[in-house]
């Protein structure tokens, strides 16, 4: 039990890095953060694919098409929305929005009639959702009030960032449902190999995206020096660090935690990611969260813990 909790904590600490990457290099656009991260992840996946080459060859054209869609929406599009949101609205609010995912996914499963695991009773989901929404409202109030106190503040930029965070949440609500569909439809396949396949599928998308952004920068005579921007060593180091720790090692730690812990407890420990990301964001700001922000974070944590405790009931035929 203790080792499982520690593995979950390690995964959360590493996953939290993806929320602060755009804050560490704010002079780099979200597109470079996205394509740089997944280009690095795709390169890391290549030797993993070679190790599992026998299993990789078993994947059909249809399997690769599914992997490409999952990579495009769950990796590239998700992080493009998220990094854009963080650069516009700061780290706190987008992190809180993404932190709702464990409960939002349950709601989406109900709404979309995703009944393979049964339906989640709406009456039991309502209180956690209320806590989550109240928590987000508290954090938003603090961020918005602080923004208005700055005479040079760009409120439209903040609102756009909040909307982009919701778009990122939608992408990562779709991803686990579709990914689970494939895994359950192929119980004889190794989940590790499927994760590697998605990394391989991400590589051409990242390459094409990076090349397209480079061409666009040249055509518009953007002042950003390409291909690695104004701080090439910092950019390369950050992309490799996030790809290695968040995309690969973090997932391995989470899988290790999932093997050691009851599913209900593991679901609750997803909040480690949210807490780590918020901690990193406020550390970069060099300030302690406001009391109302802390209250909002506490409400979010309670809502997520309450939401993952809700048990699905078997759908009636």
From first to last of its 317 residues, what are the pLDDT tens digits of the chain? Answer: 788 888 888 988 998 999 889 999 999 999 999 999 999 989 988 998 999 899 999 999 999 999 999 999 988 999 999 999 999 988 888 988 988 887 887 788 777 765 555 677 888 888 888 888 899 999 999 989 988 888 887 889 999 999 999 999 999 888 888 887 887 788 888 777 888 888 899 999 999 999 999 999 888 888 888 888 889 999 999 999 998 888 778 877 877 787 787 665 666 777 888 888 888 988 988 888 899 999 998 998 888 888 777 776 765 54
Closest of 44, 11, 24, 26 to residue 206, by C-alpha = 44
Is the residue at 26 inside a domain?
A: yes
Q: Nearest-5° angle of CA 43, CA 247, CA 172?
A: 120
Give CA separation, 239 vs 9, 39, 40, 242, in Å. Answer: 22, 9, 6, 5
pLDDT confidence of residue 132: 87
List the structure tokens of 252. 């391995």
**What's the half-sphere exposure (Cβ side, CA atoms, 13 Å) at 144?**
11
pLDDT confidence of residue 76: 93
Is the residue at 135 inside a domain?
A: yes
Is the residue at 315 inside a domain?
A: no
Number of domains in the chain: 1
Is the residue at 188 inside a domain?
A: yes
pLDDT confidence of residue 73: 94
pLDDT confidence of residue 209: 94
Is the residue at 14 inside a domain?
A: yes
Strand partners, 119: 313
Is the residue at 56 inside a domain?
A: yes
Question: The domain containing residue 20 runs over which residues?
Answer: 2-308
Report d(CA 240, CA 64) in Å as an integer: 25
List the structure tokens of 97. 């929005």
pLDDT confidence of residue 117: 57
- Phi, psi at residue 313, to the nearest 5°? -110, 145
- Scored b (16 or more CB within 10 A) or e, 285-308 reads eeeebbeebebbbebbbbbbbbbb
H helix or E strand, kind and range, residue 107: helix 101-111
Is the residue at 314 inside a domain?
A: no
Is the residue at 316 inside a domain?
A: no
Task: Tell me the whole-structure pTM to 2 decimals.
Answer: 0.87
């Amino acid at each position: 039990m203790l080792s499982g909790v520690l593995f979950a904590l390690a995964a959360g600490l590493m996953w939290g890095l993806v929320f602060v990457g755009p804050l560490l290099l704010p002079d780099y656009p979200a597109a470079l953060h996205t394509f740089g991260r997944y280009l690095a992840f795709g390169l890391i996946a290549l030797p993993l694919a070679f190790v599992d080459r026998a299993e990789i060859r078993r994947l059909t054209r249809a399997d690769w098409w599914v992997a490409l869609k999952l990579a495009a929406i769950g990796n590239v599009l998700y992080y493009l929305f998220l990094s854009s949101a963080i650069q516009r609205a700061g780290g706190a609010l987008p992190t809180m929005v993404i932190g709702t995912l464990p409960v939002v996914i349950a709601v989406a499963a109900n709404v979309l009639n995703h009944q393979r695991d049964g339906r989640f009773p709406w009456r039991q989901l309502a209180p956690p959702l209320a806590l989550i929404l109240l928590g987000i409202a508290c954090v938003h109030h603090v961020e918005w009030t602080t923004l208005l106190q700055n005479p040079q503040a760009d409120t439209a930029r903040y609102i756009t960032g909040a909307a982009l965070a919701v778009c990122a949440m939608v992408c990562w609500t779709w991803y686990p449902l579709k990914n689970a569909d494939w895994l359950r439809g192929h119980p004889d396949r190794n989940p590790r190999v499927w994760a590697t396949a998605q990394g391989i599928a991400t590589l051409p998308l990242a390459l094409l995206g990076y090349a397209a952004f480079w061409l666009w920068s040249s055509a518009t005579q953007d002042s950003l020096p390409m291909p690695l921007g104004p701080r090439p060593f910092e950019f390369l180091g950050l992309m490799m660090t996030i790809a290695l720790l968040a995309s690969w090692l973090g997932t391995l730690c989470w899988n290790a935690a999932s093997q050691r812990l009851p599913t209900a407890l593991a679901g609750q420990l997803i909040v480690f990611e949210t807490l780590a990301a918020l901690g990193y964001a406020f550390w970069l700001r060099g300030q302690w969260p406001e009391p109302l922000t802390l209250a909002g974070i506490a409400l979010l944590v309670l809502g997520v813990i309450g939401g993952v405790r809700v048990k699905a009931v078997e759908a009636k035929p």
